[in-house]
Structure 1
């Protein structure tokens, strides 16, 4: 077998790390929006286990206690100091196209208290894999 010369600027498949797969749970209404491709931004608190989440990683969303799962590819991760700043930066329609900005902020804050929000908010832009 003849080996082809490789340019120093060439990135070989074996040089690219395999994307990591994160396992995260979603409530059913949000899961259904992700699975339908309508929810393109997920909101999370910047917990230590998500600090290294990056573009090209994957997330397997599931509904706790079921076998239902949906795989997405991460396109970008942006950190914001608050949920309000995240909504202003990302737009409420990408987070939940069925709810107003104010309702979404209320729902997010019902899930994550002020001590969690203080850790930082992550906007995870994604597409179905």
Structure 2
């Protein structure tokens, strides 16, 4: 992975065999990012995404292996209890044009991933919400 910072924007290249969420975490901690928006595209060959069932308050994950192009990866970086927290969603398409997606658990790069982080001057923490079972934005 390699990246450059331009004012409040960080542009990164995540390389073959690297996991996207792990590399995002490395950048965010190194750059002390407390609030940002994230977007990416690229090629992956092994990923897990999930869907949250609100009535059960539980995530169900699906894993995929093969040739996939990220059609969309979007999310946020912020904090929970003052520590790094990322919330990412991804969709990826196969050679037939079938697209699968959901809450991103992990994604291994097969060729390259182009990641753009827009740092926001501010801070938004998260708090666990008992009603939904999710960690939601907490505005101070």
The two structures have a TM-score, normalised by structure 1, of 0.24
State which structure, 1 or 2, has the greater radius of gyration over its C-alpha atoms.
Answer: 1
The two structures have a TM-score, normalised by structure 2, of 0.23
